[in-house]
Amino acid sequence: MIGARRLAGRYRLLNPLGEGGSGTVWLATDDMLGRDVAIKEVRLGPGLDESRRRELCEAAVREANVAARLRHPSIVTVHDVLIEDGRPWLVMELLSGSSLEEMVRERGPLPPHQIARAGVHILAALAVAHAAGVVHRDIKPSNIFLTRTGRAVLTDFGIAAVEGEAAQDRTLHLVGAPAFIAPERLRGEPDGPAGDLWSLAATLYYGVEGVPPHQGRTPVETLRNVVAEPPRPPVRAGPLGSVLIDMLATDPAARPSLRDVAPRLRELTVKRPGTPAFVAPPSTPAPAPSVPAQARRPAVSPRRRTLLTATGMIATLAAIMAGTVVTTNALAADPSPAQSTPTPTRLSEKPGKFGIPVQFCKLLTAEQIKQLLPEAKDLEGKPTNQGGCEWTSPGMAVFIEPVPVFGEPEGVKDQYGTSPRRAHERFLNERNTTIPNGTIVWSWDDIGAERRSARSTGPEPVTGIGEEAFAYHIYDNRSHMKLERSQVVFRVENLVVEAAYTVIDGKRDEKAIRQGAMTLAGWTATALNRMG
């Protein structure tokens, strides 16, 4: 049985996630570390001579080495590279979401503030890569992955240029999507960080406009237009358009630097009044791939994000690398005006009062925890890997933890010392990427919750908790859609927090679960407000 095959004695192939011209992508389990991974099986075409096969294997190893030396939340993590049966296998982190290319193809152009947000994330990733002497050289919509949590991830370093390395034979071949190759590369000039900036601008342009900035009837005509013609004036981008046009300057010396572009994009990441909401067209979700009940993802909190897979969402960065796309529903539409919470005014740009990490396990009393979890034995709580705290008992659990800052170097830690304005932007990002009516599969061993299918709701406005808040809920698909979890996301000053109440097997009715989450969030917000 192919699904039982093991690589290197530790990676168990479960089922294929996608297949393209360059190979197959597998969902796999790393039995040694107990985590799910994505494995790209690189396909070597028939009839290749030994030297060409060796070249392709070396290229795969090189890609892994380049990616492995870079550490950033918006850069794909490569865990391992193997050579088995004479072909390479790349072991990578498993992400849920979809590529920007598929997002636009399935739903149409995205709102400017969402594209600006993705741009901020990728700029941060490029800053890390360029500082390490690595130029990506192949930024395009299919290599920008938008995760379920709103994080944009840069993938596929297969043709990256590393400073100080000898020129490779691959530089003799023009590689990349014609509309996204920087003009200096097409002219045969040395390409550096400015080329990545141009390709990123062309990619963001595609995301907000639905078409690349240069088009032609043939690939050759497109290449000619990139070199000789100005970009098509954007019509949907609003203020984002002027930033993209500056980044698309034909002369690399005329383009702004990454440092100059980042604050301009950051200012555009909040939806402006009057901006039309992005509405996704109806679609029929594809069945979710099978994931064994014992499969776990330690890198993702089993409390805050228990998503092992999702209907229409279990796409991986490796699927992009394989030249294929898996149908996904990664970014939800912006809430309608009726769903939206009021936007606070006059938010401070100065650092807020939470300058050091909060000890969440000390925010609640034992009496409060006992009220929500009567059978809990550990009333002091256990720290979570996101810097929060969880309390569990058979069939029930609560947790509170800060919402991580994806696209920032230190994730959760980068919340502390930021401003209320930045926290408000983070709150909006979390609300706008909460998927309405998405099917998920989750498990939580500590409370006896084996693998189960559930359906999540979209965001609902909440008042009276923190300075702004919303809630969403997860219902069991198996038995009359019983509510199993209620979660409240709220902001206090410069901190965005998620509080959740999970109850399985009918131990509480829907009203009690919803009220439990609201009570938990209210206690937490009150405790945070009392802090100096």
Question: Which residues participate in the annotated binding site?
Answer: 40
What distance in Å separates the CA atoms of residue 427 and residue 34, rounded to the nearest whole number?
Answer: 32
The active-site residue, picked from 30, 36, 138, 196, is: 138
> Is 30 a residue of the active site?
no
How many Cβ atoms from other residues are within 10 Å of residue 353's Cβ? 13
For residues 517 and 499, the answer to whether their CB atoms sit within 8 Å is: yes
Q: Are 63 and 158 in contact (CB under 8 A)?
A: yes
Annotated binding site for ATP: 40
Give me the sheet containing 6-7, strands edge to edge: 6-7, 11-20, 23-30, 35-42, 87-93, 78-84
Distance CA 20, CA 490 (A): 42
- 232, 215 Cβ separation under 8 angstroms: yes
Contact 309/291 with Cβ under 8 angstroms? yes
Q: Is residue 251 classed as helix, strand or coil in its secondary structure?
A: coil
Which amino acid would we find at residue 243? V
| Distance in angstroms (rounded) separating the CA atoms of residues 55 and 39 | 20
CA 54 to chain centre: 34
Q: Can you tell me which residue has the tokens 């920008």? A: 144
Three-state DSSP class for residue 326: coil
Nearest to 115 by CA among 24, 234, 260, 227: 234
> Residue 27 corresponds to which amino acid?
L
Q: How far is CA 361 from CA 188, 381, 396, 527, in A?
A: 58, 6, 17, 11
Residue type, position 326, single letter: V
Report the catalytic residues. 138
